[in-house]
């Protein structure tokens, strides 16, 4: 009897493996042959699931974004104050720091070599950023788009610095001054509600 394959699960498994591969080597330097070898699949199998390297990248970004948001929202807890929600969010980031660093490396490679990524990559990445912003707004309870963007900018900067310097200070401890400052900014922002 032929082996039954759950194509959805198998596709997600391939994407998870590609996530590490793209983070380590970068889209620009990977060939389809290298991807096939690293995944230990035939080129026919790869093309069955992903008709091109561009399609693979786009599906990777969509899948990783969706799974990250699902994981975050499943963990989100009800907290009475904004500061507690923000601390909880930074704890989530700390627990998944390596994942976010890999995602960050993939995005940086895109911006360095965007001419190689295909015409749809910018729209896919913008949709991912928008989805992350919505999740952040929901998780911590910030309705102001500019404040939410500032939070995302800080997170990206902190991830970059920690990668470059190999910081051993715990993630939340290093973020604590920003958490205090950002909490104050949200409390003083017109129209923002910090209590639930």
pLDDT (0 to 100) of residue 158? 94
- As for how many domains the chain has, the answer is 1
How far is residue 69's CA from residue 63's CA, in Å, rounded to a whole number? Answer: 10
Q: What is the pLDDT of residues 2-20, one digit of tens each?
A: 455 677 888 999 999 999 9
Domain-embedded: residue 36: no
Domain-embedded: residue 23: no
Q: What is the pLDDT of residues 91-133, one digit of tens each?
A: 999 999 999 999 988 888 888 887 777 677 788 888 998 998 8
Domain-embedded: residue 94: yes
Look over the chain and give the mean of its residue pLDDT values, rounded to a whole number: 87
Domain-embedded: residue 132: yes
pLDDT (0 to 100) of residue 76? 82
Q: What is the pLDDT of residues 52-85, one digit of tens each?
A: 888 898 899 999 999 999 999 888 877 778 899 9
Domain-embedded: residue 110: yes
How far is residue 139's CA from residue 125's CA, in Å, rounded to a whole number? Answer: 21
Segment holding 23, helix H or strand E: helix 7-25
75 burial type by CB count under 10 A (0-12 exposed, 13-18 middle, 19+ buried): middle
Mean pLDDT throughout 185-196?
A: 72
Asked whether the predicted pLDDT for residue 1 surpasses 50, the reply is: no
Asked whether the predicted pLDDT for residue 178 surpasses 90, the reply is: yes
Domain-embedded: residue 73: yes
Q: What is the pLDDT of residues 148-173, one digit of tens each?
A: 888 999 999 999 999 989 888 999 99
Q: What is the pLDDT of residues 24-61, one digit of tens each?
A: 998 888 888 999 999 999 999 999 999 988 889 889 99
Domain-embedded: residue 7: no
Print the domain residue range for 157.
Answer: 53-188
pLDDT (0 to 100) of residue 141? 86
Domain-embedded: residue 40: no
């Amino acid at each position: 009897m032929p082996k039954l394959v759950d194509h959805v699960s198998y596709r997600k498994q391939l994407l998870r493996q590609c996530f590490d591969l793209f983070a380590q080597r970068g889209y620009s330097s990977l060939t389809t042959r290298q991807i096939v070898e690293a995944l230990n699949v035939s080129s026919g199998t790869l093309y069955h699931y992903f008709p091109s390297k561009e399609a693979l990248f786009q599906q990777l970004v969509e899948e990783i974004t969706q799974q990250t948001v699902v994981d975050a929202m499943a963990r989100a807890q009800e907290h009475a104050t904004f500061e507690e929600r923000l601390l909880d969010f930074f704890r989530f980031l700390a627990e998944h720091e390596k994942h976010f660093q890999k995602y960050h490396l993939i995005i940086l490679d895109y911006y360095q070599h965007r001419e190689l990524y295909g015409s749809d990559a910018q729209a896919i990445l913008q949709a991912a950023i928008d989805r992350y912003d919505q999740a952040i707004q929901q998780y911590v309870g910030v309705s102001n788009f500019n404040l939410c963007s500032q939070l995302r900018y800080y997170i990206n900067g902190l991830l970059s610095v920690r990668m470059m310097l190999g910081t051993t200070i715990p993630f939340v401890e290093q973020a604590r001054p920003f958490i205090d400052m950002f909490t104050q900014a949200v409390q003083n922002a017109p129209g923002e509600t910090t209590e639930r």
